[in-house]
């Protein structure tokens, strides 16, 4: 299955001054597959070390002598580490913390070697281990679930993908094509974007896909014992299992458990965020860029890793999918907000840490909230997620007026629409155009 991140790895590989690359992401987002696929396409000999399966391999790495380390690796894996033909892949590197600092010495002494590392619980190591990180000596790639467009390509719907890539807002979309694309969105909301779940769905049945998703959820919970000993597993599970019900809402710890202390629940939440299975969407005043400069860390909403997992945890199954004409409406629009949110979260260059914000004003008789706020260059853009034709956009209008902005975006289930008011333009896009919003909406593109 093709991933957009492959293009980034190719560009990294072609750079003369490349540094060892560390791929960061939750379990099951496809980090290992991505590296193997790159090696295959680039015709590189892959030397793969999985430190979870072979923890003793860490003893082959010696920061005092990179030449010796290379010699040990060549002997152990019966290969030659050739600059132009070999890819050294250090998988699950969080299980070998002592190896991470040595990456800097590879960069300094053997910059000709192609080295990629990957880790699913890497954040815990980076924050807890008492060693000097190779700052400025490594590069990062942040990987999330497969996008809707990657899902289309995996299903063989290359013509549909090509169609939305060249779509112009000045042209109308034939109803049959719109309906077909919305059907694909509904399917994606059930399967989700985790590669293994999609792979099984394409080759087998819905039931088999559901089993895979349940197994992935179990894997995440099995990892809780690896987080921190002082956080009880039962508390982590409680928070983990509650999140899908709270998507799109400003978090109040009492809604997770009224009997637990907010501080304790917050610590559990911190760990789940470090594992990247959930993400905080912080409140920003959004007066300008960067949006992160004006956040209030006390106020945030939550996103889960993947919409397909949210569907499973919400009890959606094949029967629900067959009965629901618009599955995007399920759970009071939470699936819609998750779908849009997880795409916007990773709608950044891969080297940037995923981030997303929202805006709210809490005043008596004048409360307002905009689902998401993003930036493009120096421009701040508010975004609303509406499941259908109805739904007030009062908050969006208020935000645009208050901030004196010229563009707002709404995602819904309807065909594209452009509304020009006196002082701003409101562009409504169907969910299947989530990956095309910049091309279609930014003023310099002149699409409307």
Q: Say whether pLDDT at 143 is over 90.
A: yes
Cα radius of gyration (the chain) = 23
List, in sequence order, the alpha helices (H) in 223-373: 233-246, 262-274, 307-313, 318-323, 334-345
Q: How many Cα atoms within 13 Å fall on the side-chain side of residue 363?
A: 4
Alpha-carbon distances, residue 102 vs 97, 117, 137, 288, 334 (angstroms):
10, 12, 10, 40, 44
Q: Say whether pLDDT at 447 is over 70.
A: no
Q: What percent of the chain is modeled with pLDDT above 90?
A: 81
Q: Say whether pLDDT at 390 is over 70.
A: no
299: Cβ contacts below 8 Å, ≥ 6 apart = 250, 282, 283, 360
Q: Say whether pLDDT at 211 is over 80.
A: yes
- Domain boundaries of the chain, sorted by first residue: 5-142, 148-445
Separation of alpha carbons 297 and 142, rounded Å: 23
Separation of alpha carbons 112 and 303, rounded Å: 40
Three-state DSSP state, 271:
helix
Separation of alpha carbons 307 and 431, rounded Å: 13
Length of the chain: 448
Contact 230, 255 (CB under 8 A): no
Please report the pLDDT score of residue 363 as a whole number. 79
> Could you say which architecture CATH assigns to the domain 5-142?
3-Layer(aba) Sandwich (3.40)
For 306, other C-beta atoms within 10 Å of its C-beta total 27
Extract the runs of DSSP E, i.e. beta strands, from 305-412: 357-361, 368-376, 379-385, 407-412
Residue 23, strand partner residues: 118, 141
- pLDDT tier at 359 (50, 70, 90 boundaries)? very high
Q: 101-110, 273-282, 298-307, 312-321 — which is least confidently predicted?
A: 312-321
Backbone angles phi, psi at 6, to 5 degrees: -60, -35
215: Cβ contacts below 8 Å, ≥ 6 apart = none
Separation of alpha carbons 238 and 258, rounded Å: 12
Three-state DSSP state, 439:
helix
């Amino acid at each position: 299955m093709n991933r957009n991140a492959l293009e980034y790895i190719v560009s990294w590989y072609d750079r003369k001054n490349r540094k060892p690359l560390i791929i960061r992401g939750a379990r099951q987002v496809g980090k290992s597959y991505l590296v193997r696929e790159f090696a295959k396409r680039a015709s590189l000999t892959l030397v793969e070390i999985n430190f979870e399966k072979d923890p003793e391999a860490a003893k082959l790495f010696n920061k005092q002598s990179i030449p010796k380390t290379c010699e040990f690796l060549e002997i152990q894996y019966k290969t030659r580490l050739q600059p132009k033909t070999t890819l050294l892949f250090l998988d699950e590197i969080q299980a070998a913390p002592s190896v991470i600092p040595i990456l800097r010495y590879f960069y300094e002494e053997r910059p000709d070697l192609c080295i990629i590392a990957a880790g699913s619980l890497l954040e815990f190591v980076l924050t807890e281990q008492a060693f000097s990180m190779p700052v400025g000596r490594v590069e990062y790639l942040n990987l999330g679930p497969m996008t809707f467009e990657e899902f289309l390509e995996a299903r063989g719907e290359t013509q549909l993908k090509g169609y939305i890539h060249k779509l112009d807002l000045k042209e109308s979309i034939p109803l049959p094509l719109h309906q077909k694309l919305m059907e694909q969105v509904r399917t994606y909301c059930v399967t989700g974007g985790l590669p293994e779940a999609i792979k099984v769905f394409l080759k087998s049945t819905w039931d088999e896909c559901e089993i895979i998703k349940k197994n992935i959820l179990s894997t995440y919970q099995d990892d809780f014992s690896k987080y921190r000993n002082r956080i009880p597993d039962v508390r982590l599970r409680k928070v983990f299992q509650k999140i899908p019900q709270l998507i799109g809402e400003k978090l109040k710890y009492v809604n997770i458990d009224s009997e637990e202390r907010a501080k304790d629940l917050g610590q559990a939440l911190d760990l789940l965020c470090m594992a990247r299975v959930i993400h905080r969407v912080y409140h920003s005043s959004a007066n300008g860029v960067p949006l992160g400069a004006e956040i209030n860390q006390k106020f945030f909403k939550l996103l889960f890793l993947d919409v397909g997992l949210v569907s499973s945890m919400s009890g959606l199954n094949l029967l629900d999918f067959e009965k629901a004409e618009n599955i995007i409406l399920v759970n009071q629009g939470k699936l819609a907000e998750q779908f849009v949110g997880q795409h916007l979260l990773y709608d950044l260059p891969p080297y940037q840490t995923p981030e997303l914000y929202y805006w709210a004003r809490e005043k008596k008789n004048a409360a307002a909230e905009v689902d998401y706020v993003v930036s493009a260059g120096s421009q701040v853009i508010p975004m609303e997620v509406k499941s259908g034709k109805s739904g007030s956009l009062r908050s969006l209008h208020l935000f645009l007026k208050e901030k004196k902005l010229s563009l707002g975006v709404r995602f819904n289930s309807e065909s594209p629409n452009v509304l020009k008011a006196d002082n701003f333009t409101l562009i409504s896009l169907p969910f299947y155009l989530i990956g095309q919003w910049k091309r279609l909406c930014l003023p310099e593109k002149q699409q409307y």
